[in-house]
Amino acid sequence: MRDRHRFGTLKNPTGLPVRVDRGGNGHFGSRRSLWRDGELYRYNHKGQDNECVPGQDVRAPIYGKVQRIAYPHDPSKSPYSGLIIENPVYTIKMLYLAPLKDIVGKYIEALEVIGQAQDISLKYPGSGVTPHIHTEIVSISMDPDLYMEGQTLKPT
């Protein structure tokens, strides 16, 4: 039971609600679209976007080992990054944070500071996208909100 508690609940990495803004809805499964090679591509959002304040500390949603740096876009053309964290239950991808130096390969506790929030709104000027941290369970496709303790939802 102790391990289940340690591994079974995700923590909110920013302490702020899921974003719902002019740029879209940050909930798992929300419809998204983008233009790629002249064609409109539609898909469902695979993670959860919690609002953040650029530069704020970002905390680990789970206990686990930091496996590697993650990049949401081509790293040669984009300043944005994140982390992959793994434990026996989950593999989590987090995006739009600047990881702490030398964190890769270390074991971390849930809610331990792992980096600072980046400002993703700069990539989409005028779109209304709120700065946020993207958290995605990549080991299986599931809604992080179902497992996130203390989640607060913004009224619509």
Q: Give tens-digit pLDDT for 64-117.
A: 999 999 998 888 888 999 999 999 888 999 999 999 999 999 999 999 999 999
With contact defined as beta carbons under 8 Å apart, do 70 and 93 qualify? yes
What domain count does the chain have?
1
98 DSSP β-pair partners = 116
Give tens-digit pLDDT for 120-151. 999 888 888 999 999 999 886 667 766 666 55
Do the Cβ atoms of 86 and 61 come closer than 8 Å?
no
**Residue 155 domain-assigned (yes or no):** no
Q: What is the CATH number for 54?
A: 2.70.70.10
- The more confidently predicted of residues 154 and 51 is 51
| 154 occurs within a structural domain | no
Number of other CB atoms surrounding residue 4 within 10 Å: 9
Domain that holds residue 18: 2-149
Residue 77 lies in a domain: yes
Measured in degrees and rounded to the nearest 5, phi and psi for residue 87 equal -140, -175
Please enumerate in sequence order all residues whose Cβ is within 8 A of that of 14, keeping only pairs 6 or more positions apart, or say none. 50, 51, 52, 56, 58, 59, 117, 132, 133
Cβ proximity of 52 and 14 under 8 Å: yes
Q: Does a structural domain hold residue 121?
A: yes
| pLDDT: which is higher, 140 or 46 | 46
Task: Calculate mean pLDDT across residues 30-53.
Answer: 87
Higher pLDDT, 23 or 46: 46
Q: Residue 132: inside a domain, yes or no?
A: yes
Residue 151: per-residue pLDDT: 54
The answer to the question of residue 59 being in a domain is yes
Would residue 15 count as lying in a domain?
A: yes
Residue 42 lies in a domain: yes
Show the tokens assigned to 53: 């304040």
